Each structure stands twice: as C-alpha cells, then as structure tokens.
Amino acid sequence: MSRCLERLRAALNALGLLVRDLLRPTNLLAVVVLLALAYMGVTYLMARYRSARVARERAELEAAVADLAAKNAALRADVRRLEAQCEELRGFVRRLSAESRVAEARVVAHRADPQGEPTWTIEFAEHDPDGNRLPARTIVVRGKEVYFDALIIKFDRDLVKVGDPLRGRTLHVFRRAFGSAQEPREGPLLAGAATPSAFEQGLWLRFWHWADHPRAAEAEGVRVAQVEAVAIRPLPDALYRLTIEHAGGLNVKLVEPGEP
C-alpha cells in the first residue's frame, strides 16, 4: 500500500514539474504557437474537405442536371413525333371521312299523268371537282320514287387516306334518272355535264373490265367498280343534294329550308 502511494506521489510530482516547465514564458509561447499551428492545420484540412465535398456535390448536381436536360430533350422529341403522328392520323381520318357535293336536284313542277302516276319535273345540276355548279338540265320522270344512277369507282382506302393526287377519292359518272313507274332505260340521260380528265377517261374505259375482274382492279388500286343508284320520294319544290364519300359511295339528302 505504501509502495502505491509512493508511486502516485512521484507521478504527481512529475506532472507538477511538467506544468511548471510549460508555464515558463519561453515554453508557454511555444505551446501557444503549437496550438495556433494545430488550429490552423485543422481548419485548413476541414476547409479542404468541405471544398472537396462541395466540388463533388456540384459535379454530381451538374451531371444530374445534364441528365435531366437530355431526358427533357428526348421527351420533347417524343412529343413532337407523337404530335406529328397525331396530325397525320387526323389527316387520314379527314380524308377517309370526307364527302364532296357532286350534284343538286330541285323539284320545279309535278302533276299526275293519265294513269294517275305522279310526274316530276326536276332541274338536275352537277358540280365540278372544285364544287362549282355546272349548268342545270331539266328532266321529267314518272313514279313515286326517283332514282339517280351512276357508275362508281372506289379506290383502295390506303390511297384515299394519304390523299393520292389521282386516286385519292371515289370517282363517279352520272348516267340517267328514272322513276319507279318507268323502265330505267326509259329515263333521261344525265351524263355529259362534267368533263372527266384524261386520266379519268382511261379509268372509265376499263370500268366494266374491272367490274368483271376484281383481282385486276385491286392490282391497280381499285377497290370497287360498280353501278350505284340513290332514290328520293320527291316533295314539291324540294331541293336534294347528292354527295359522294371520298372512300365510299353516293348519297342523297333533302336540303332543309335555310340550310346552306
């Protein structure tokens, strides 16, 4: 026990001597300098560490920003591509659902014949491909129903949807009108008001060949070659509009009062 106390006393004496030695003016200055240098060194190292960390974080942030910019540019390109596709699809829909006015039929007079059948006097006027009204002709037909007969060439829908300049819409040629109380061959002729182009004339020369040979027609982009007739039950003083669907056939509709 006494030995331990002696050792402790010796350690305390040594510590006291060290403190007294450090507290000497010359040694105290050295200690202060060492502490200052140590503080400056630690501060410098911490500043370097913070600077390196900031530089690393900045580089990571710049890389993230560049990545987001690239993704944003890619998304914008995708949006432009999808918008172009949507516009193209809208164009397809417009062309496939388009319909053009091709003729008008106005009832100008009516009476009953000796057999009691209604007889109708009708002004029939075709329209050219630009929608301009051509000179009208006056026809007389018998029967409660009146038919307008035409040759029709319908093209492949793929040609219609892309707006092919020559085969982008159904072609027609009116032949005759006739009433339900007469034979079709007795009806007045309608053909001749509109003048087909040279290309269309070549198509009409092959009309019956295509009607009889569908595969040959398909090989030239012709989907259907047939005769179509639309009918009305005439009303006194009524106006009827005949239209053709660019991807379909012939239609007729009563024009209501005030309708353009």
Q: According to the model, what pLDDT value does residue 18 have?
A: 63
Backbone angles phi, psi at 256, to 5 degrees: -70, 155
The DSSP-derived string for 165-213 is TTTSS-EEEEEEEEETTS-GGGSPB-TTSS---HHHHHHHHTHHHHHH-
Q: Which of 163, 173, 236 is nearest to 200 (CA)?
A: 173
Q: According to the model, what pLDDT value does residue 84 have?
A: 87
φ/ψ bin of 102: left (φ > 0), alpha (ψ from -120 to 50), beta (otherwise): alpha
Q: According to the model, what pLDDT value does residue 45 have?
A: 82
The overall pTM is greater than 0.85: no
Please give the sequence-ordered ranges of beta strands (E in DSSP) within 5-136, or none if there are none: 99-112, 118-126
Backbone angles phi, psi at 236, to 5 degrees: -55, 135
CA gap 123, 109 in Å, rounded? 10
User: In order along the chain (260 residues), what is the average pLDDT of each group of 10 residues?
Assistant: 73 68 63 71 82 88 89 90 87 88 96 93 94 93 97 96 93 96 94 79 95 96 97 96 96 82
Give domain limits for the chain. Answer: 1-97, 99-254
Q: According to the model, what pLDDT value does residue 126 have?
A: 94
**Angle, alpha carbons 252-256-237 (nearest 5°):** 85
Measured CA distances, 238 to 34, 149, 151 (Å):
115, 19, 25
Q: According to the model, what pLDDT value does residue 176 have?
A: 95
